[in-house]
Structure 1
Amino acid sequence: MQDLSGLGSDVEPWMRWWRTYLRGGIANVGKSEFPVRIVDLFCGCGGFSLGAAEAARALGLLPVFEAAVDIDAAGLQVYSRNLQPVRTINRDVGTLIGYSVHRLARGEIPDRSSLLDPGLRSLAGRVDLLLAGPPCEGHSNLNNKTRRRDPRNTLVLDAVAVAIALEASTVVIENVPGARADERRVVQSAEEALKSAGYRVLSRVLDASDYAVAQTRRRLFIMASRLSEPCERMLAGLVKSPPPDVRWAIEDLEDAGESPLDIPTRHSAENERRIAYLFETHSYDLPDDLRPPCHRGGHTYPSVYGRLSWDKPAGTITTGFTSMGRGRFVHPSRPRTLTPHEAARLQGFPDSFRFVWEGDRVPARSQLAKWIGDAVPPPLAYAVVLTVLKTLLTR
């Protein structure tokens, strides 16, 4: 365990614990004979499930990952290495259920016979918690081409259809706040479908920086339970102020190590000059005349090409954290962008999480960036899942 003596008396106990956990401390331990059976759709490498597992253990429950579903085979192997699911399903979620999302949007509710995968069908009626983090690129404000009408936006309805057909006791779905503005009202349809199937639904936009995550990352969560109302009081009780800053999360990683996770990205000569300018002038924002020509006539991206501050939370960690041209990703005190290790810490992944798979095969940097940047931050998942797992304890 790490020494907590330097964290200060004003830091809440659970936040102190999570910082220790980030640096390799001991997680919630203890055996339980009360399993909580979990299915994770669009699971990626497992950030959502990792936070859910810690929430279950904190409540004295034993997390059992019955199924993890994703189209990324390598991501599923990383998930398996860390969370040991009973089964992995390397398929598009939409192919798991013979049900049109348009029928769901019209109020027609699927049943377990709609499940096309035999492994999932065998779980119907036995799933305590279904997690889903459908790809959010179609809803993102950075998507200037198909935003609000992207075909991927209906994936949230695929997740809801699977959850209802599985008769999952509790459901948590995550996406960007912009999902509510979709032209087809996919979020509103998802909420209405869950209510029609007998769930009590609570939807909230939360900022990860309020939940021991050193970044400002606003996300929409749809929480649903067939047992009782999701416990919103637990969310209010876990909010922390002020939010953790970059120093809190990555100060001990200032100097790059030898692990592939700790090796900085090499930049073009032009970007090297831009990074050098930030440090030579003690600046945190790059002036327009040093930006690409497309930015010089005015832009709305002040954080792009920017440098992080030690004493503030990072902005949203995206899949572009290795490039200064895709966000404020230049290190506060070193002339480089964030390493995968630092980005993982800022997302709330502990050092004990292994971003490798069978045979310790090291993933490509692009894979690391996708898994880390797309993940639901585990501490945020922890807080949200507590609100629905609490309903299981009433059963």
Structure 2
Amino acid sequence: MSDKKIKAVDFFCSGGGMSCGMQQAGIEIIAGIDHDISCKETYEANIKGATFIHKDVFKLEEEYLENTLKLNKNDDNLLLIGCSPCQFWSIINTDKKKSKESKDLLKEFRRFVEYFNPGYVVVENVPGVLRKKRASGLESFIKWLKLNGYKVHFNVHEVSEYGVPQYRKRFTLIANRITEVEIVPIALNSKKVTVRDVLGTHNGFPEVLHGNKDTSEFLHTVARLEEINLKRLAITPKDGGDRLGYVFDKELAPACHYGKLDGFRDIYGRMWWDRPSPTITTKFYSMSNGRFVHPEEDRAISLREGAVLQSFPKNYKFKGTSVAGIARMIGNAVPPKYASAIGHAIIQNHKNAV
């Protein structure tokens, strides 16, 4: 058992963040599944050797997957990964109607776990799925796993503890029926990686102006700013400055912020050089959606900078037709270095199995 390589199927794979990290750890990715055809080209360009399956999981049949990928039931070397879109359970999203369908994706993923009974199962999601564990189906899923011989770890982890240069809390479940060990992601136990460690001219990111369009695969592309936002940034202190720099300026302060020293201060704010970045969302290219301004330059971070803060390799190829579309793929991704920490822990467990 332990001398065989673990192979994985990545449900809800999107642009391949989880698959990338698992491959880095040494796990063979045999397939990625997603209903969004726009991520196909990105996934196939980076996750070599894997088959991209364009299917809606609600309509995907267990037998189809079994036959297409030649999977075996009760395979100790099989890992099923389910990182379902999580908008319904997120505290960030306020429009629950648009994301209602995503609330049952975990229950759909469970069908395949029950059918194949793999050696390992990984689920990654927003912390809200744990706070609402009964409604999300998580509670009954964990109960089923335990009743069927799995040792289950589930908790909320901070990805900056695993080499990701970003503060981001994520729910993670790792289930294992190979040993009696509770598998947890392997933390680095070292200094956190900061914005300075990965961005800046010293890391190969040339200074650019807002509106820069990079047609190369490096994608150092930056959103264009309106004149009022350029004025705001001109007086926003470098390295962590925020809207307090103009909070009493009637021309520059948004009406809802004028004269207010308390409340949410990240919007229009700069990142700090010597801290991990804030959570990279799908709107990280816009300075009005969070603390997404470069620590020094008067612009929001670029697409490639957002990807690097998510811990994607610099040469990862993102394919898309719009800034918003590529940013959504990046912001929704599982940070590869965090995925790798999960993968290393599973491989270590597999090697120790008798």
How far is 1:75 from its partner? 1.0
| Structure (1 or 2) with the greater helix fraction | 1
How far is 1:219 from its partner? 0.4
Q: 1:211·1:379 contact (CA, 8 Å) conserved in 2?
A: yes
Aligned: 1:364 with 2:327: no
Aligned: 1:255 with 2:207: yes
Q: 1:201·1:229 contact (CA, 8 Å) conserved in 2?
A: no
- Specify the SS of the correspondent of 1:201: strand
How far is 1:121 from its partner? 7.2
Which of 273, 285, 288 does residue 310 from structure 1 map onto? 273
Aligned: 1:83 with 2:53: no
* Structure-2 separation of matches of 1:48 and 1:297: 44
Structure 2 residue aligned with 1:239: 188
Distance 1:96 1:310, change over 3 A: same
Q: How does 1:1-395 map to 2 (within 5 A)?
A: 34-56=4-26, 63-97=27-61, 114-117=62-65, 119=67, 122-125=70-73, 126=75, 128-146=78-96, 150-182=100-132, 184-230=135-181, 232=183, 235=186, 238-251=187-200, 252=203, 253-256=205-208, 258=214, 259=216, 261-279=219-237, 284-287=241-244, 288=247, 290-296=252-258, 300-356=263-319, 363-393=321-351, 394=353
Letter in 1 for 2:123: I
How far is 1:158 from its partner? 1.5
Which blocks of at least 5 consecutive residues in structure 2 are unaligned? none
* Structure-1 separation of matches of 2:127 and 2:112: 22
Q: 1:212·1:240 contact (CA, 8 Å) conserved in 2?
A: no
Letter in 1 for 2:286: S
Distance 1:321 1:165, change over 3 A: same
How far is 1:181 from its partner? 2.1
Q: 1:191·1:201 contact (CA, 8 Å) conserved in 2?
A: yes
- Percent sequence identity is 30
35-44 or 150-159: bigger deviation:
150-159
Count, aligned residues: 332
Which blocks of at least 5 consecutive residues in structure 1 are unaligned? 1-32, 57-62, 98-113, 357-361
Letter in 1 for 2:7: R
Letter in 2 for 1:220: F
How far is 1:234 from its partner? 6.2
Q: 2:271·2:277 contact (CA, 8 Å) conserved in 1?
A: yes
Distance 1:209 1:254, change over 3 A: farther
* Structure-2 separation of matches of 1:166 and 1:81: 28
Letter in 2 for 1:320: K
* Structure-1 separation of matches of 2:165 and 2:312: 11
Q: 1:231·1:387 contact (CA, 8 Å) conserved in 2?
A: no
Distance 1:329 1:165, change over 3 A: same
82-91 or 37-46: bigger deviation:
82-91
Letter in 1 for 2:196: R
* Structure-2 separation of matches of 1:304 and 1:91: 37
Q: 1:68·1:76 contact (CA, 8 Å) conserved in 2?
A: no
Deviations 1:59-91 (A, max 9, x none): xxxx43222101121312211111124422111
How far is 1:377 from its partner? 0.6
Deviations 1:14-53 (A, max 9, x none): xxxxxxxxxxxxxxxxxxx943211000101111011111
Deviations 1:357-376 (A, max 9, x none): xxxxx542122101111111
* Structure-2 separation of matches of 1:295 and 1:312: 25
TM-score by length of 1: 0.76
How far is 1:262 from its partner? 0.7
* Structure-1 separation of matches of 2:110 and 2:68: 14
Please give the root-mean-square deviation of Cα atoms over the aligned residues, in Å.
2.6
TM-score by length of 2: 0.85
Q: 2:31·2:53 contact (CA, 8 Å) conserved in 1?
A: yes
* Structure-2 separation of matches of 1:371 and 1:348: 13
* Structure-1 separation of matches of 2:180 and 2:299: 47
* Structure-2 separation of matches of 1:370 and 1:239: 28
* Structure-1 separation of matches of 2:189 and 2:164: 10
